[in-house]
Amino acid sequence: MNMFFQNTIKTFGLDIGEATLRLIACKRGLRSIKLTNFQSIALPQGTLAKGKIINRDNFIRAIQQLITASKIKKQYVVASLPEKQTYTKVFPFVADGNAITEEKVRNEITQHLPYPLSMMIIDWQYFTFGHQSYLAFAAIAKEITENFLQALTDAGLNILAFETEAQAIVRSLVKTKDITGARCMIHIDSQRTTFILERDGVIHFTRQSENFSGNAMTQAIQNAFKSSVEEAERLKLHYGLQSPKENTTIIEALTPLLQTLATEILEILHYYKLHIAQGQEPLREILLSGGVAHTKSLPEALTNMLQMTINPGNPWCNINARTLKRFPITSSLSYTCAIGLALRSMFESENI
């Protein structure tokens, strides 16, 4: 099975997060792609951790509850694999006499893997940029893939493909008719931040950090107010990073976290300039996604801190807006990965 890049038939997308499962289904109309279904369900604490299934029974039960609630009849799915367990890289690659052999590809990839090739599932893409040819690959441990495959199968699903979270996020945030240029995507959820550097629809670099997350923000507010987790969460959602007088304590509590995030963004941008741009085009845009991106005034706070424009992404840029009337738009960025997974079979090529 081509686990990451292959085309598939129509299906629904399943974003498997450590705290929440999210489902999106779409269909292609005559002129546009339409949203047909969405659903989410919280996972019991401890069901998943660090990209691994810890409580299999809870996981299977949650999947079944999600499918029942969504009333989806088709049981075919494109599911995300945890980015924490995947390894992606792009590097220059010269084919032998213009021929790309499986043997040479595997030999080259082996030099970049953290584990023996026999323990990994690999998929790759070959592409050119300017006068240089490159190889992009994604890898994940066989044990992780097999565990998710078996659990989802036992939950009653037919798996058409697994895909990295990063690839799904890129597909969701980049308009298919306008993929040229380079972008930095910053996906922030309750557990961690994922940084993605993408150019012309190809992922060149990903990195994850647990220094900034929704949970870290809640903890900082809880410590500042000596409140319950529930009250800290309420304050975070109500005030965010807005700057009225009554919000001074929240901003002071969150500023160290923001400074850490800003430093990490600068490191990612330095990596882009040094290893990807190589003196060529600047980043076209820096986009935020994930549930934490809905935090009030977060884009403005980062823009002011870094003196560069940072905007929320639009995960619906490839979907007919008139079909979104039932969707809670304030949750859109939480569904970024699920939307990208659902769109996978809508596109005729895997350029994105």
Could you tell me how far CA 215 lies from the centroid of its own chain?
18
Rg (C-alpha) for the chain, rounded Å, is: 20
Q: Report pLDDT for 329.
A: 84
List where CATH 3.30.420.40 sits in the chain.
1-85+140-176+318-352, 178-313
Containing H/E element for 92?
A: strand 86-92
Q: Report pLDDT for 96.
A: 66
Q: Report pLDDT for 97.
A: 62
pLDDT in tens, 183-226: 999 999 999 999 999 998 889 999 999 999 999 999 999 999 99
Q: Report pLDDT for 10.
A: 62
Contact (Cβ atoms closer than 8 angstroms) between residue 227 and residue 221: yes
SS3 state at 65: helix
Dihedral of alpha carbons 150, 156, 161, 163, sign: negative
Q: What are phi and psi of 298, to 5 degrees?
A: -65, -50
Q: Report pLDDT for 113.
A: 84
Fold of 178-313: Nucleotidyltransferase; domain 5 (3.30.420)
Distance CA 334, CA 338 (A): 9
Q: Report pLDDT for 60.
A: 98
Distance CA 93, CA 96 (A): 10
> pTM of this prediction?
0.90
Fold of 1-85+140-176+318-352: Nucleotidyltransferase; domain 5 (3.30.420)
CA atoms within 13 A on the CB side of 223: 10
Residues of the chain with pLDDT under 70: 1-10, 96-98, 244-246, 278-279, 348-352
